[in-house]
Amino acid sequence: MQQYYDKINETARIIQSYITEHTPEFAIILGSGLSKLEDEVEVISEIKYQNIPNFPKSTVSGHKGKLIYGKIQNRYVLMMAGRVHYYEGYSMQEVTFPIRVFAQLGIKRLILSNASGGVNPNFSIGDVMIIRDHINLFPEHPLRGKNLDLYGVRFPDMSKPYSHAMIAELEKIAQENNIKVQKGVYVGLQGPSFETPAEYGMVRILGGDAVGMSTVPEVIVARHQLMEVCALSVITDLGGPEISPDVSHEEVLNAANIAMPNVILLVKNLIKNYK
Ligand code: HPA
- pLDDT, residue 64, reads 63
| 188 Cβ neighbours under 8 A, 6+ residues apart | 134, 135, 136, 137, 138, 211, 212, 213, 214, 215, 216, 217
- pLDDT, residue 241, reads 85
- pLDDT, residue 147, reads 96
Q: Cα–Cα distances in Å, from 25 out to 14, 60, 110, 126? A: 18, 28, 9, 29
Strands 26-30 and 109-118: parallel
Distance 141 CA to ligand 1 centre (A): 20
Average pLDDT of 125-138?
A: 97
**Residue from 30, 83, 194, 209 to probe ligand 1 pocket by mutation (most atoms less than 8 Å from CB):** 194
**pTM (two decimals):** 0.94
CA atoms within 13 A on the CB side of 138: 27
Residue at 193: amino acid letter: S
Percent of the chain with pLDDT over 70: 96
- Asked if the model's pLDDT at residue 59 lies above 70, the reply is no
- pLDDT, residue 1, reads 77
Q: Cα–Cα distances in Å, from 149 out to 2, 99, 224? A: 11, 16, 10
Average pLDDT of 262-275?
A: 94
225-267 tens-digit pLDDT: 999 999 999 999 998 887 766 778 787 788 888 889 999 999 9
Residue 194 Cβ contacting ligand 1 at under 6 Å = yes
The Cα 150–Cα 200 span in angstroms is 39
Distance 245 CA to ligand 1 centre (A): 10
Q: Is 150 helix (H, G, I), strand (E, B) or coil?
A: coil
- Asked if the model's pLDDT at residue 33 lies above 90, the reply is no
Residue 212 Cβ contacting ligand 1 at under 6 Å = yes
Percent of the chain with pLDDT over 90: 83
Residue 40 Cβ contacting ligand 1 at under 6 Å = no
Question: Any idea which of 26-30, 46-50, 182-186, 188-192 has the lowest mean pLDDT?
Answer: 46-50
Question: Residue 158 — pLDDT band, cuts 50, 70, 90?
Answer: very high
Query: Residue 116 in contact with residue 64, Cβ under 8 Å?
Result: no
Beta bridge partners of 71: 42, 76
- pLDDT, residue 118, reads 96
Closest alpha carbon to 28 in 63, 70, 64, 80: 80
Q: Which residue has the higher pLDDT, 34 or 49?
A: 49
C-alpha triplet 91, 95, 97: angle, nearest 5°: 110
- pLDDT, residue 246, reads 73
Question: Residue 202 — pLDDT band, cuts 50, 70, 90?
Answer: very high
The Cα 56–Cα 158 span in angstroms is 26
- Asked if the model's pLDDT at residue 104 lies above 60, the reply is yes
Phi and psi of 34, rounded to 5°?
-105, 20
- pLDDT, residue 267, reads 95
Phi and psi of 272, rounded to 5°?
-65, -45
Average pLDDT of 13-39?
A: 91
- Asked if the model's pLDDT at residue 173 lies above 80, the reply is yes
CA atoms within 13 A on the CB side of 186: 31
Residue 199 Cβ contacting ligand 1 at under 6 Å = no
